[in-house]
A and B are shown apart, each in its own frame.
Chain A
Amino acid sequence: MTDAHGPGAAVTTVPALLVTHADLSAALLRAATAVYGPIAGVDVLSNEGLSREGLEQAIEAHVGAWRHGGLVLTDFWGGSCHVCGVSAARKGHGEIVIVTGINLPLLLDYLHNRDHYGVMELAERLAQKGQASIRVQRSDG
């Protein structure tokens, strides 16, 4: 997918794969759909029941189809989704970047901006947005 953004600028839509424990990635995508509307071009994967090799192969099957890199969004640093994502990313094409700590605001920001940034710039933006979305507010005014 390509689109034009500004004079002479052709930007490729950055694809994404959500890899998480249990059903979190599917639930996040379902929640994002409720806020954003129908979503295309985002794949989900659970690590459930998979060995390290099995998970790596499953991630490779997705990222291997990307021609110009993309984002692997995972739940937490040090988990199998993160570790296997890093291993599988080496075997893909283009720049494949892992972002850990996915949350709904991060996913929504990805959807709004996946046509406007390159892979690394988008990854850095999402890391910032995801962290900034965690805020504390007292309930006593």
Chain B
Amino acid sequence: MTWILHRVDDRLIHGQVVVAWGGRLHPDRIYVVDDATAASAWERDLLASAAPDSEVHVLGIADMAAGYAAEAATPGAAFLLVRTLAAADQLVTAGAPVPRFQLGGLHYAPGKTRVNEYLYLDDADRAHARALLARGVRLEAQDVPAARPLPLESLDPELARR
């Protein structure tokens, strides 16, 4: 068993990840892939303490792309978390063959429009989503295990427009 969840979530490690998905899937390792967080020892320690039942690794995008295949061959189960669709796109472009990203939480900010109650996207987000879809990466909206995963294309008519 290896990668069992790839998630885009601007909260990174939080309740839905640790309690809902962690309680359901019991990951041995959680990889937080975020350049800014990886650059801060304090942030790394904070996130590591927030998920006491898993081993937490905080890596930059380039380091995760380089180590993605090795983790895939490691015993146990792993989650991968990125904060934005831009980071997801960069990770795949850098060589990580992620088959599917779960879109778990991209909250409102000025300039973003509502897709559903936990997903808000702007033009840049949609450009990265299109790039990922063009590479064959599936994008599915799902915040918690009890929710039905839905293809982003089915929820966001703006995604089809250019």
Taking Cβ atoms with an 8 Å cutoff, the residues of A that contact B are 21, 49-55, 76-80, 82-83, 86-87, 90
Question: Does the CB pair A83–B50 fall under 8 Å?
Answer: yes
- Contact of B14 with A83 in the complex, beta carbons under 8 Å: yes
B47 contacts which chain A residues (CB < 8 A)?
Answer: 83
The reply to whether B46 and A86 contact each other, CB–CB distance below 8 Å, is yes
Q: Which of A52, A76, A90 contacts B11 (CB 8 A)?
A: A52
Residues of chain B within 8 A of A21, CB atoms compared: 15
**Which of A51, A54, A76, A87 is B15 in contact with, Cβ under 8 Å?**
A76
- Give the residues in chain A near B106, CB-CB below 8 Å: 51
Residues of B within 8 A of A50 (CB): 107
> In the complex the two chains form, what is the Cα distance from A56 to B42 in whole Å?
16
Contact of A51 among B11, B18, B52, B117 (CB under 8 A): B11
CB pair B107–A78 under 8 Å, yes or no, is: no
Contact B46 A78 (CB under 8 A): no
Question: 17 A-B pairs, CB-CB below 8 angstroms?
Answer: A49-B108, A51-B106, A51-B108, A52-B10, A52-B83, A53-B10, A54-B109, A55-B11, A77-B52, A78-B14, A78-B15, A79-B14, A79-B15, A83-B11, A83-B46, A83-B47, A87-B43
Quick check: is B98 within 8 A (CB to CB) of the other chain? no
Q: Which residues of B contact A52 (CB under 8 A)?
A: 10-12, 14, 83
Question: Quick check: is B58 within 8 A (CB to CB) of the other chain?
Answer: no
The reply on B19 being an interface residue by CB < 8 A is yes
**Chain B 95-124 against A: per-residue CB contact (8 Å), 1 yes, 0 no?**
000000000011111000000010000000
Given contacts A49-B107, A51-B107, A54-B109, is CB(A80)–CB(B14) below 8 Å?
yes
C-alpha spacing A21/B143, complex, angstroms? 14
Complex Cα spacing A120 to B42, Å: 21
Q: How far is the CA of A25 from the CA of B117 in the complex (A)?
A: 21
Point out which of B11, B12, B83, B117 has the most chain A C-beta atoms below 10 A from its C-beta. B11
Q: Across the two chains, which residue of chain A brings its CB closest to B83?
A: A52
Residues from chain B with a CB closer than 8 A to the CB of A87 are 43, 46
- A-contact 0/1 string along B7-43, CB 8 Å cutoff: 0001111110011000000000000000000000011
- Tell me the minimal C-beta distance from B6 to chain A in angstroms: 19
Residues in A with CB closer than 8 Å to B107 are 49-51, 54
Contacting residues of chain B (53-87) with chain A, CB-CB under 8 angstroms: 83
- In this assembly, does B51 line the interface, its C-beta being within 8 Å of a C-beta of chain A? yes
Of all chain A residues, the one with the shortest Cβ separation from B14 is A80
Kindly provide the distance from the CB of B132 to the nearest chain A CB, expressed in whole angstroms: 20
Residues of A within 8 A of B14 (CB): 52, 78-80, 83
Residues from chain A with a CB closer than 8 A to the CB of B19 are: 76, 78-79
Residue of B nearest to A83 (CB): B50
Distance, CA A10 to CA B52, complexed state (A): 39
Docked complex Cα distance between A55 and B109 (Å): 12
Given contacts A50-B107, A51-B109, contact A82 B12 (CB under 8 A): no
